[in-house]
């Protein structure tokens, strides 16, 4: 058994009898939308999905982008990428920026009164336009042939992520633009040699978000947690289909 993955835990479980707010992260709400059964097993019963391998290169790109934009944040200047794509904005200055970025411990938070769920999310960046509207920004890194886009079916998770962040900032009293941006870095595999460095083509993709679904999703997630029954298997969930396949061969 891996010393890192504990298949069953006893902490951070939802208790239907508790009156204390229950913390639910952006990623866990996305898990609920993808598979209520896996969400219930995780948050109510303490059996989480096995973690994937860490994407260390993606994390490195993320960290370097934050450092780069933070220079312009401190100087109140427009980043060259903003100028290139005609975005009239500067990185948003706020003492809570490091807190908002800390998805594991803090993040941007809102206690949803209808469900008593403390909803949280760790944003990559926030810009602000001359109207005083916040522009939510998410960094992405990949390496693929051709132009990056948001057209793939599986990228619905990216779009929901953006909309959840927009909803959280609005609930914290900020004026938020419907337009958010994905700073998408695509590793160039067409170079003649590696030479100890990986170069990226960077594209800024605008996205018009609609967060009208978020509150309903939180209400549905709370109903799921309150139930005494485990939700049914989902044919669209890889984990559910795997478990079902194992059960069939074990018979």
Quick: pLDDT tens for 106-160: 999 999 999 999 999 999 999 999 999 999 999 999 888 888 888 888 899 999 9
H or E element that contains 60: helix 56-75
Two structure tokens written together for 186 = 């695509």
Quick: pLDDT tens for 49-86: 887 766 777 888 889 999 999 999 999 999 999 999 99
Question: Could you tell me the pTM of the whole model?
Answer: 0.92
Nearest-CA neighbor of 164 among 31, 1, 48, 13? Answer: 31
Average pLDDT over residues 182-209: 86
Quick: pLDDT tens for 2-42: 456 677 888 899 999 999 999 999 999 999 999 999 999 99
Pairwise CA distance, residues 180 & 202, whole Å: 16
Two structure tokens written together for 37 = 């059964």
Q: What are phi and psi of 118, to 5 degrees?
A: -90, 100
Pairwise CA distance, residues 114 & 216, whole Å: 10
In the chain, what are the domains? 22-250 (3.90.320)
């Amino acid at each position: 058994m891996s010393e890192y993955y504990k298949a069953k835990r006893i902490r951070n479980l939802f208790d239907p009898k508790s009156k204390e707010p229950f913390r639910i992260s952006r990623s866990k709400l996305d898990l609920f939308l993808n598979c209520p059964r896996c969400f219930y097993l995780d948050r109510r019963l303490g059996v989480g999905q096995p973690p994937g391998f860490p994407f260390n290169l993606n994390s490195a790109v993320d960290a370097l982008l934050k450092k780069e934009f933070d220079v312009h944040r401190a100087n109140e200047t427009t980043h060259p990428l903003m100028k290139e794509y005609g975005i009239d904005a500067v990185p948003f200055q706020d003492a809570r920026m490091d807190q908002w970025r800390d998805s594991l411990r803090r993040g941007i938070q809102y206690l949803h009164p209808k469900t008593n769920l403390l909803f949280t999310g760790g944003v990559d960046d926030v810009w602000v336009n001359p109207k005083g509207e916040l522009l939510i920004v998410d960094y992405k890194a990949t390496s693929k042939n051709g132009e990056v886009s948001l057209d793939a079916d599986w990228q619905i998770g990216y779009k929901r992520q953006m909309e959840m962040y927009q909803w959280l900032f609005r609930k914290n009293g900020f004026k938020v633009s419907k337009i958010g941006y994905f700073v998408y870095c695509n590793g160039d595999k067409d170079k003649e040699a590696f030479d100890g460095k990986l170069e990226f083509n960077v594209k800024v993709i605008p996205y018009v978000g609609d967060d009208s679904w978020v509150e309903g999703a939180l209400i549905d997630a709370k109903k799921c947690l309150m139930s005494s029954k485990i939700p049914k298997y989902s044919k669209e969930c890889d984990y559910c289909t795997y478990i079902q396949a194992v059960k069939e061969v074990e018979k």
